[in-house]
């Protein structure tokens, strides 16, 4: 379950009317979006999601809200585009859609910034990391010390 609630999306500037909803159904409409954002953030943050650190919790909460807001922007774009009875050349509709698209991109960037602000779950050193390292060594095909080798070797990788 999300660390946010549907009212926080209204507080962020969204309204039920933008989506053809009224206040009585807003929670049922918005909560699944928040829960989906929650799932994404949990997958991205791993064990940090359950941290008791207030700073980490704030980053997580904001990231979830920004992801849900980006989803709301896309739904708003779809709604305007689908219900637009005017030509796509109409400047006002085109301008509105462009503004919403820009808002969506900003919300996505804000979510990434918040996720980047969360410190790593553990402070493992490079020598103990179990993540594979991918690399490639390139050299001449002529005889001698030169060769090409694709490698999974590296920090915790295949030797």
Summarised one tens digit per residue, pLDDT across range 47-64 is: 899 999 999 999 999 999
pLDDT score, position 155: 45
Cα-based distances in Å from 78 to 10, 74, 102, 159: 19, 6, 14, 50
- How far the first Cα of the chain sits from its last, in Å, is 42
Does the model's pTM come out above 0.75? no
Torsion 24-30-32-38 (CA) sign: negative
Return the domain boundaries, the chain.
6-116, 124-159
pLDDT score, position 82: 80
69 versus 151: the higher-pLDDT residue is 69
Kindly tell me the burial class for residue 117, based on how many C-beta atoms sit within 10 Å of its own C-beta (0-12, 13-18, 19 or more). Answer: middle
Kindly tell me the burial class for residue 24, based on how many C-beta atoms sit within 10 Å of its own C-beta (0-12, 13-18, 19 or more). Answer: exposed
């Amino acid at each position: 379950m999300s660390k946010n609630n549907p009212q926080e999306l209204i507080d962020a500037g969204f309204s039920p009317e933008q989506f053809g909803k009224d206040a009585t159904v807003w929670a049922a409409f918005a909560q699944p979006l928040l829960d989906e954002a929650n799932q994404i953030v949990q997958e991205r943050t791993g064990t940090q999601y359950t941290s008791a650190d207030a700073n980490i919790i704030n980053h997580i909460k904001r990231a979830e809200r920004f992801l849900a807001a980006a989803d709301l922007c896309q739904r708003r774009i779809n709604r305007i585009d689908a219900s637009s009875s005017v030509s796509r050349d109409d400047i006002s509709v085109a301008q509105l859609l462009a503004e919403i698209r820009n808002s969506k991109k900003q919300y996505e960037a804000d979510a990434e910034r918040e996720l980047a602000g969360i410190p790593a779950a553990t402070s493992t050193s490079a020598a103990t990391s179990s993540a594979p390292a991918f690399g490639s060594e390139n050299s001449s095909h002529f005889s001698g010390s030169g060769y090409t080798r694709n490698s999974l070797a590296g920090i915790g990788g295949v030797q």
